Amino acid sequence: MHNLPFDRPGRFWRGNLHTHSDRSDGGLPPDQISRLYHEAGYDFVAITDHFRPEYGFPVTDTRPLRTSTFTTLIGAELHAPRTEFSEEWHIVAVGLPLGFSPPTSAESGPELARRARAAGAFIGMAHPAASLLTLADAESLEAAHAVEVYNALSAWEDRGDSWHLCDLLLGRGHRLSVYAADDAHFQPQDPPAHAAWVQVRAESLDPAALLAALKAGHYYASTGPEIHAIQLDDDSITVRCSPAGRVLVTGCVPGKRVRAGHGRTECSLPLDMFRESAYVRVTVIDANGGRAWSNPIWLS
């Protein structure tokens, strides 16, 4: 009923959906990036180089880097004019075909995103806070599957959290999922990588299985904690997780939330105050301030 991933067949696979190599403005080649993520305990990475003319519109082919224990998803960060406050859109497209054609001079960001989704890609609104996306901008990107609610590189610049915009979209009924990502460029001035990721529930590490799970919302996002299970009944929500300083349940009801904490790994929280909200979401916060976020859980 609620499309939760925790009891689905398979296991969770850790991956990063937003990364740049030296095929665009990143500092390292794709093979080295893949090795670094594998060594850091990741199961997959998507290298999403900037799809711009100065780089030759790259869709970086990472298929040769796949092994039995680590895989890659092929994608790009797409750009086209324009948003209210920026000259260009930033759109993560994971699962692009290698032959995806460059945008025409007349193609808008929403049109480009629609074409990428029709070609099979998972579409994400990249770093909305850092891009100063307005609600009108975001609502025009109707091809999006998900909002990048946390971007580690943008957090370095104090614009990493995009939950406010996401909650407005959810409150208006847009059925979006959410993800966190590094946006790693591996340049000397950048923050450390491996700071934000997704845990995708799938039966195998096959790229097609991971992509299908992403599109279905069968994953959660994290900068540290683990979410082991979320279960709902008519009156409450039960969360099992790694040791938490706080567990929060929020929805589209301003000022209302429920919480538990103090190192707990399981808690049940009431849902009665969210009866006017179409959705709730779970946030797990650990002792170091790391966060994990469920996808929106639709109650209707």
The ranges assigned to domains in the chain are 11-219, 227-298
Position 196 scores a pLDDT of 98
**Is 11-219's fold the same as 227-298's?**
no
Mean residue pLDDT of the chain comes to 95
Instruction: For residue 3, name the pLDDT band (cuts at 50, 70, 90).
Output: confident
The tens digit of pLDDT for each residue in 76-132 reads: 999 999 999 999 999 999 999 999 999 999 999 999 999 999 999 999 999 999 999
Instruction: For residue 262, name the pLDDT band (cuts at 50, 70, 90).
Output: low
Provide the percentage of residues in the chain whose pLDDT is more than 70.
97
Check pLDDT > 90 for residue 279.
yes
Instruction: For residue 2, name the pLDDT band (cuts at 50, 70, 90).
Output: confident
Position 263 scores a pLDDT of 73
Check pLDDT > 70 for residue 257.
no
The torsion angles phi and psi of 11, rounded to 5 degrees, stand at -150, 175
According to CATH, the superfamily of the domain at 11-219 is: Metal-dependent hydrolases (3.20.20.140)
Position 253 scores a pLDDT of 83
CATH topology of domain 227-298: Immunoglobulin-like (2.60.40)
The tens digit of pLDDT for each residue in 196-215 reads: 999 999 999 999 999 999 99
Position 222 scores a pLDDT of 98
What's the pTM value of the predicted model, to 2 decimals?
A: 0.97
